[in-house]
């Protein structure tokens, strides 16, 4: 086994955010192999994070994010367990990411449990109507069981796209927002979770008049 130096422990701590003794023990367990030590710390951290799933996170921040161009804005509440953690750099970075994620990817719910049954039923009916229209256009009808399976698949895909926690992070597409939240929980030792958000888009819900510029100009000329 190679000697575990202070430099190795310091480097591992900077990479993982784990405590000094945790880093030293991980390096000892892994024979000085830094990469293996990183994986061991991650696994232990995630196990601790899962235990915190039922913890009450009532502190945190309400963050306002305005997308460049000022056409999209987001208000989001992200919770942790202490005011101390809410002021940390790692927590602040995560909150900023969540704001950008909601603005960019147009999430509608934080998690599946937040999606109203009426919304799911409406989307299911839409996908079923699409299947029926496709059958009419092709002249090929599908068995009811097949249609049910297709519709269920479309609903599943839609849910993964509109639920914030299931979206791939815009900064790291290999990880979902839920995965990043879990990793941060493991790193900071407190439950980190997105509670709620509201997304605003300029002109959303307004029936905009479609103007005819050429016609308007001609009308002005004719009336002059």
**pLDDT tens digits, residue range 207-220?**
765 555 455 545 54
CA dihedral 84, 89, 90, 95 (to 10 degrees): 90
Contact indicator for 59, 78 with CB cutoff of 8 Å = no
Q: Give the model's pLDDT for residue 6.
A: 85
The tokens describing 124, both together, are 């299911």
How far is Cα 125 from Cα 148, in angstroms, rounded to an integer?
A: 11
Q: Is the dihedral of CA 134, 135, 139, 145 positive or negative?
A: positive
- Total residue count of the chain as it appears in this document: 224
How far is Cα 220 from Cα 211, in angstroms, rounded to an integer?
A: 14
How far is Cα 215 from Cα 224, in angstroms, rounded to an integer?
A: 14
H or E element, residue 8: helix 6-16
**For every one of its 224 residues, what pLDDT tens digit does the chain have, with 9 covering 90 and above?**
568 888 888 887 777 666 677 788 888 888 888 888 878 777 766 555 555 555 556 689 999 999 999 999 999 999 998 889 899 999 999 999 999 999 999 999 999 999 999 999 999 999 999 998 988 888 888 888 999 999 999 999 999 999 999 999 999 999 999 989 988 888 888 889 999 999 999 988 777 655 554 555 455 446 54
The reported pTM is 0.68
How far is Cα 76 from Cα 95, in angstroms, rounded to an integer?
A: 8
């Amino acid at each position: 086994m190679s000697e575990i130096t202070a430099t190795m422990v310091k480097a591992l701590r900077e990479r993982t955010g784990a405590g000094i003794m945790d880093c030293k023990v991980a390096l000892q367990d892994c024979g000085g192999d830094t990469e293996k030590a990183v994986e061991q710390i991650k696994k232990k951290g995630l196990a601790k994070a899962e235990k915190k799933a039922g913890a009450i996170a009532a502190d945190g921040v309400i963050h306002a994010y305005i997308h460049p161009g000022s056409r999209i804005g987001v208000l989001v509440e992200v919770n942790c367990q202490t005011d101390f953690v809410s002021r940390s750099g790692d927590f602040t970075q995560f909150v900023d990411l969540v704001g950008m994620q909601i603005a960019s990817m147009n999430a509608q719910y934080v998690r599946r449990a937040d999606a109203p049954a009426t919304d799911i039923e409406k989307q299911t009916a839409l996908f079923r109507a699409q299947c029926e229209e496709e059958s009419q256009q092709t002249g090929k009808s599908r068995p009811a069981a097949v249609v049910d399976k297709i519709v269920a698949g479309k609903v599943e895909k839609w849910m993964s796209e509109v639920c914030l926690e299931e979206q791939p992070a815009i900064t790291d597409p290999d990880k979902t927002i839920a995965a990043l939240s879990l990793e941060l929980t493991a790193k900071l030792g407190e439950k980190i979770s997105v509670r709620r958000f509201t997304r605003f888009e300029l002109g959303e819900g307004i029936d905009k008049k479609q103007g005819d510029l050429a016609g308007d100009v001609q009308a002005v000329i004719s009336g002059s």
